[in-house]
Structure 1
């Protein structure tokens, strides 16, 4: 404080700083409140990806259910590759053909797909491409027949 200033001089606004972040820990409390208590307000990346795959799979499965038969669809974070994996590419999906009463199994790997895409639209297009290619492989049909959107941009 300036010793020459009178004691009854007003304090400058810059000297008095109001903040709720007194100890530098950031904002307190939730940033977004849930609509219903006990449920998260925002979905996680994993939940959003699962919903994206479900949208694509539902459309294809409804269209080709009779020809496909029993198919299990799954999403995993990353593929388990052996230590002696020789190629530098990481699989984006896996298709295991069923036999008898065992259903076929189509697994989409989330992390490799997310790393290749910058936007949600690119991710949607990549998931569509991967799932259509696997379903076409399972049916033995060209990809354009399985889904007409496949050839379009």
Structure 2
């Protein structure tokens, strides 16, 4: 009986068909190609939120920054009827205020990640200015 080549016997035949070794992902986890749009957007918001912290000071240190996919279906009566890209939610008590950025409306208005970052900076600056009751031009993110 001739010798049996182990590459062509048993279940390993399907995994390593041509003897080239196991296949892996095309890009490894630290490579940007493996990051989702949601993760990229969250990092942009975190970066902009850290830039906004000095403007908020001690009085508004409890302000939270949040990301939601889409705005609620019923906008507030004083808001425009188009999909908002961000909102300042005043919360009473010890919780503090919350600035919410809506990911989908921001991404639909932008062509690339550079524009996404610019829109997020603009939205956060508008919401921080509204919270502090100052002109938007005083907030430089």
Q: TM-score normalised to the size of structure 1?
A: 0.66
Residues 41 and 113 of structure 1, relative CA distance in 2, 3 Å threshold: closer
Alignment of 1:120 onto 2:120: no
Counterpart pick for 2:28 among 5, 28, 33: 33
What displacement does 1:96 show? 1.1
- Deviation of 1:31 after TM superposition, in Å, equals 1.3
Of residues 32, 36, 41 in structure 2, which corresponds to 1:44?
A: 36
Shift of 1:29: 4.3
Q: Please, what is the CA RMSD of the aligned residues?
A: 2.5
Gaps of 5+ in 1: 1-27
Cα deviation, 1:72-101, whole Å, max 9, x if unaligned, reads 110011112139x99651011121113231
Match runs of 1:69-80 below 5 Å: 69-80=61-72
Is contact 1:96-1:104 (8 Å) kept?
A: yes
- Write the distance in 1 (CA, Å) between the matches of 2:55 and 2:72: 31
User: In 2 relative to 1, CA 64–82 (structure 1 residues): closer, same or farther, beyond 3 Å?
Assistant: closer
User: For the Cα contact (< 8 Å) 1:93–1:109, is it kept in 2?
Assistant: yes
- Greater length-normalized contact order (CA 8 Å, ≥ 6 residues apart): 2
Q: Corresponding residue for 2:9?
A: none
Name structure 2 gaps, 5 residues minimum: 1-22
In 2, the alpha carbon distance for the partners of 1:72 and 1:49 equals: 16
Distance in 2 (alpha carbons) for counterparts of 1:68 and 1:80: 25
Larger Cα-atom Rg = 1
Q: 1:87, 1:100 → 2: CA distance?
A: 28
TM superposition outliers: structure 1 runs of 4+ over 4 Å: 85-88
* 1:122 Cα offset (Å): 1.1
Alignment of 1:53-72 (within 5 A): 53-72=45-64
Residue 133 of structure 1: aligned partner: 126
In 1, are the aligned partners of 2:84 and 2:105 still within 8 Å (CA)?
A: yes
